[in-house]
Structure formats: C-alpha cells, structure tokens
Chain A
C-alpha cells in the first residue's frame, strides 16, 4: 500500500501565524492528493483536491502545492477555527490512503 507520511505530527502556533504541513508519498502520485481538516468530534472536511484546487467555500488562506511525492498545505494567517487536525489523502492508487495527521494547536 502507498504510504503517506505527514510532518510534523504536531505543531503549536498562534493566531495570525502562517503554518506549513508536508505530506510525502512513498511513490509518485502525480497531483492526485487531497487535504482534509477535522475538528474534534466532527467529520473531516474537504479543503483541497488535485494538490492545489481549493474546494468551494474554503477560505483562500488555505493553499496547497506539490506533485510527485512531496506536497504541502499552507495556512496563512491562522484563525481560531483552524486549530484542528489535518490529513492528506492519495487517490492515485488503491487502496486510497491517508497520512497519519497533523494536529495544529494553539500556542
């Protein structure tokens, strides 16, 4: 199975900061990668697909980039609502797999 490795697993940041989360695939996946946000006790929420396409209704402070094996999710000017866990997901090959998650907490 394709392995997706996120770094860091945990980060502490302040409101207004810019943070970057990295997701690395064990094999090349072109740009077939999505990012999700999950708040505690809630279902995941789609942020980005095809590595960089922002889902409708998602604030523009979220952005994604990358191709091949390395991808990034950047959150500019962190807002209180953004403190959550973020997952990448590859859909290049089956089984679809997720990264282990990056928890963003308030410093």
Chain B
C-alpha cells in the first residue's frame, strides 16, 4: 500500500540542526512531490514548503527561507527535510506528505498521503 514512513523522534539543543527523513513506498516516487507540514504542541498545521521529487524544484514558505532545505533521493524514494538554527519554538511534530506540486492549483488534488509524523523537541 501507499505509505510514507518517517524517521524517529529527535531531541536537539537550540542552535543545532535536525534532519527528518521520509521513505515512500507503494507508488512511483517521482510522480508526486513531497511537502512538509509541522504542528506545534496543541496548535494547528503550518506549511513549510514542498519539493518536486522528479526535478528537485522547491518552494519554501518565506518564514523558513534560509533555515530549511528539502531534498530527495530518487534511488531510495526518500525525502529529507533539514532545519537549521533550531529554536525552542521549532518544537513540533513534523509531517511529510504527498501531493502534486508546481503545476498550479488546478493540478493540485490535496495532500493525500501523510507520514506518521516525527517529533522534534528543541530544549537546552
């Protein structure tokens, strides 16, 4: 079945970096892009950006520009999200999810498959 499996939880100190991985299976990886959405404890959903799995094209939310890098490895059908200069308010569950990105809203059909989430805790 189609699934995205994320790496395990991380505890980091302020100023450090974190890498979260997201391994896809059950579909042709390069047909869909990967987006990253985070959720702080007890809060709503916040979109961070997306990456096209075929050509590596990215679109980051301005809030994260300069601190986030999204990449994919098509040989292993895995996406990665690196977040640098971590702060306490980066403490959240980070989700990877699948969708059709980069072709405009008429070609977007929702974020239809989500990973299980990775808890990143930033604390001194």
Contact = CB atoms under 8 A, between A and B. Distances in A.
A95 B110 CA distance: 15
21 contacts: A30-B105, A32-B108, A34-B110, A43-B95, A43-B97, A43-B114, A44-B95, A44-B111, A45-B114, A48-B110, A53-B109, A55-B110, A87-B45, A89-B111, A91-B108, A92-B105, A94-B59, A95-B62, A96-B61, A98-B45, A101-B44
Interface in B48-104: 59, 61-63, 95, 97
A58 B24 CA distance: 22
B115 interface: yes
A46 B110 CA distance: 7
A55 B112 contact: yes
B33 interface: no
Interface of A: 30, 32, 34, 36, 38, 43-46, 48-50, 53, 55, 87, 89, 91-92, 94-101
Contact of B45 (A45, A55, A89, A91): A89
Interface residues of B, number: 21
Given A43-B115, A94-B61, A49 B110 contact: yes
Contacts of B59: 94
A95 B46 CA distance: 10
A96 B62 CA distance: 11
B44 A98 contact: yes
Contacts of A94: 59, 61
